[in-house]
């Protein structure tokens, strides 16, 4: 059985897990804006860990192709404090 392929363009959920740091959210928002245009800040899910050390941010951008996802992933992984991009 072949894995399911994404048909682009698609609204694609992307979760960023990071250590909480000053201005982290602004840096991640800027990367999403660079790749997809401005995102509605209130439309981004934000959840902090129970100990308050980590945060997960969930975005739902309109992705045009696989190359756009790959470029986003590279830029997000370069941000200090980002641990995972799902």
Contact 53, 74 (CB under 8 A): no
Instruction: Please check whether residue 19 lies inside any domain of the structure.
Output: yes
**Could you tell me which residues come within 8 angstroms of residue 47 by beta carbon, excluding any fewer than 6 positions away?**
55, 56, 58
Instruction: Please check whether residue 5 lies inside any domain of the structure.
Output: no
- CATH number reported for the structural domain that contains residue 47 in this entry: 3.30.70.260
Instruction: Please check whether residue 32 lies inside any domain of the structure.
Output: yes
Range of the domain at 40: 10-85
pLDDT in tens, 11-66: 999 999 999 999 999 999 999 999 999 888 888 999 999 999 999 999 999 999 99
Residue among 73, 78, 80, 84 nearest 35 (CA):
73
Instruction: Please check whether residue 49 lies inside any domain of the structure.
Output: yes
Q: What is the pLDDT of residue 74?
A: 98
Instruction: Please check whether residue 63 lies inside any domain of the structure.
Output: yes
Q: Name the pLDDT band for 3 (thresholds 50, 70, 90).
A: low
Instruction: Please check whether residue 80 lies inside any domain of the structure.
Output: yes
- The number of distinct structural domains making up the chain is 1
Contact 73, 15 (CB under 8 A): no
Q: pTM for this structure?
A: 0.90
């Amino acid at each position: 059985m072949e894995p399911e392929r994404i048909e682009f363009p698609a609204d694609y959920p992307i979760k960023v897990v990071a250590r909480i740091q000053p201005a982290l959210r602004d840096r991640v928002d800027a990367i999403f804006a660079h790749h997809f245009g401005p995102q509605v800040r209130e439309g981004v899910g934000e959840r902090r860990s129970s100990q308050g050390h980590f945060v997960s941010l969930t975005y739902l951008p309109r992705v045009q192709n696989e190359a756009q996802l790959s470029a986003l992933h590279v830029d997000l992984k370069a941000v200090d404090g980002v641990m995972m991009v799902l």
